[in-house]
Amino acid sequence: MAQVTHQLFAYGKAISPGQTHHWWWNNAPTQRVWMFSVDPLPRNNNIPASLSYRLEVTRVEYRRNHLANAFECEIHVWVKNTGTEYADYKIFMATVGG
């Protein structure tokens, strides 16, 4: 039976409007379905209603790198700030697999 997991993958700071951050995980398990989401975090507690915090996961890649007698699997995630303000953020990862 398939197992479902959900966890914090990364915590990013100070992504500026239009900027993209790249994160990766070496030695990622095989035979999984990977899903990612991102939650923007305001940089201060006094938030005017006019501010726009918008982030999106723009790309996810699963790479299998062949080494001499083995291989290494990696998950890569790109997050872009599509809003108008600097923001901190959390990336969450969910997997389905055995």
The answer to whether residues 58 and 80 touch, using CB atoms and an 8 Å cutoff, is: yes
- Which domains does the chain possess? 3-43+53-97 (2.60.40)
Name 24's bridge partners. Answer: 76
pLDDT at 39: 93
pLDDT at 97: 87
pLDDT at 51: 72
List pLDDT tens digits, range 25-35. Answer: 998 988 889 99
List pLDDT tens digits, range 12-23. Answer: 999 999 999 999
Q: Which of 36, 59, 38, 48 is nearest to 85 (CA)?
A: 48
Tokens 């790198």 belong to residue: 65
The answer to whether residues 14 and 55 touch, using CB atoms and an 8 Å cutoff, is: no
Cite the beta strand spans of 16-67 per DSSP E. 20-26, 32-41, 55-66
List pLDDT tens digits, range 35-89. Answer: 999 998 877 666 666 677 899 999 999 999 888 888 889 999 999 999 888 889 9
pLDDT at 19: 97
The answer to whether residues 88 and 41 touch, using CB atoms and an 8 Å cutoff, is: yes
